[in-house]
Amino acid sequence: MLGILLLSSFCLNAAELRSIEVERDDDHYTMTLVSWLDVEPKLLYSILENHDLFTHFTSAVIESRNMEPDGEGRPQFYSRFEGCVMVYCKSFIRNGYLELTPHTSLIAIVDPNRSDFKSSVEAWLLTEEDGGTIVEYTFDIKPDFWVPPVIGPIYIKHALKTGGEKAIDRIEAFAWELEADMEQGPKVDVEQE
């Protein structure tokens, strides 16, 4: 019975992947994804601006957190990823800042001096549609680490595509859970005598 409930909860996910594309030009990778999520933009924005939550959305993110704002007042983030290609495994770091336009746009830009990427820009553009949100997501990276020839680029493209597809369902499910918790209100423990 539990298996049926779990299966039905996955089938009820309303996230609609409209397009996903991963391109490679030498050592430069770009993923673009357009999806519709059954989540209001305000709630989705509050989830995406919180890097403390990113480990819930993809297994590649091992550690992620919000950092103190920089000297210009921009929110900072830290993420550590892990990936393996056959027997070669690599952990890599992304440190940077966020450019935020409340409820419509989040852009994460790495500082190459504190990251394992020559460049990395991750952008979410949020637009309200039919009671939910259109997410236009772009992840543009240029690694500053050795990528194994032949299989490495194939793996990176595959990991970006499958990770992106899974992440939209996980983000939506997380938002639904958060919304349900907010509707229930704070939990109060009642001691029994």
User: What is the CA 42 to chain-centroid distance, rounded?
Assistant: 16
Confidence of residue 166 (pLDDT cuts 50, 70, 90): confident
Q: What is the pTM of this model?
A: 0.81
Evaluate whether residue 187 is within a structural domain.
Answer: no
Domain interval for residue 141: 14-182
- The DSSP call for residue 54 is G
Evaluate whether residue 3 is within a structural domain.
Answer: no
Evaluate whether residue 159 is within a structural domain.
Answer: yes
Confidence of residue 37 (pLDDT cuts 50, 70, 90): very high
* Count: domains in the chain: 1
Q: Choose the weakest-confidence range: 5-19, 31-45, 159-173.
A: 5-19
Strand ranges across the sheet with 88-101 = 16-25, 28-37, 132-143, 117-129, 105-110, 88-101, 76-85, 61-67
Evaluate whether residue 54 is within a structural domain.
Answer: yes
pLDDT at 8 over 60: no
Helix, strand, coil fractions of the chain, as percent rounded to 5: 30, 40, 25
The domain spanning residue 40 has which CATH number?
Answer: 3.30.530.20
State how beta strands 16-25 and 132-143 pair: unpaired
Task: Tell me what the pLDDT averaged over the chain comes to.
Answer: 85
Evaluate whether residue 151 is within a structural domain.
Answer: yes
Contacts of 55 (CB under 8 A, 6+ apart): 61, 62, 63, 64
Residue 187 has a CB neighbour count (10 Å cut-off) of 6
Please report the pLDDT score of residue 88 as a whole number. Answer: 72
Evaluate whether residue 75 is within a structural domain.
Answer: yes
Evaluate whether residue 192 is within a structural domain.
Answer: no
Please report the pLDDT score of residue 187 as a whole number. Answer: 55
Highest mean pLDDT range out of 15-24, 62-71, 183-192? 62-71
pLDDT at 10 over 60: no
SS3 58: coil
Q: Choose the weakest-confidence range: 2-6, 84-88, 93-97, 115-119.
A: 2-6
Strand partners, 29: 24, 141
* Rg of the chain taking only CA atoms, in angstroms: 18
Listed in order, strand segments (DSSP E) in the chain are: 16-25, 28-37, 61-67, 76-85, 88-101, 105-110, 117-129, 132-143
Evaluate whether residue 46 is within a structural domain.
Answer: yes
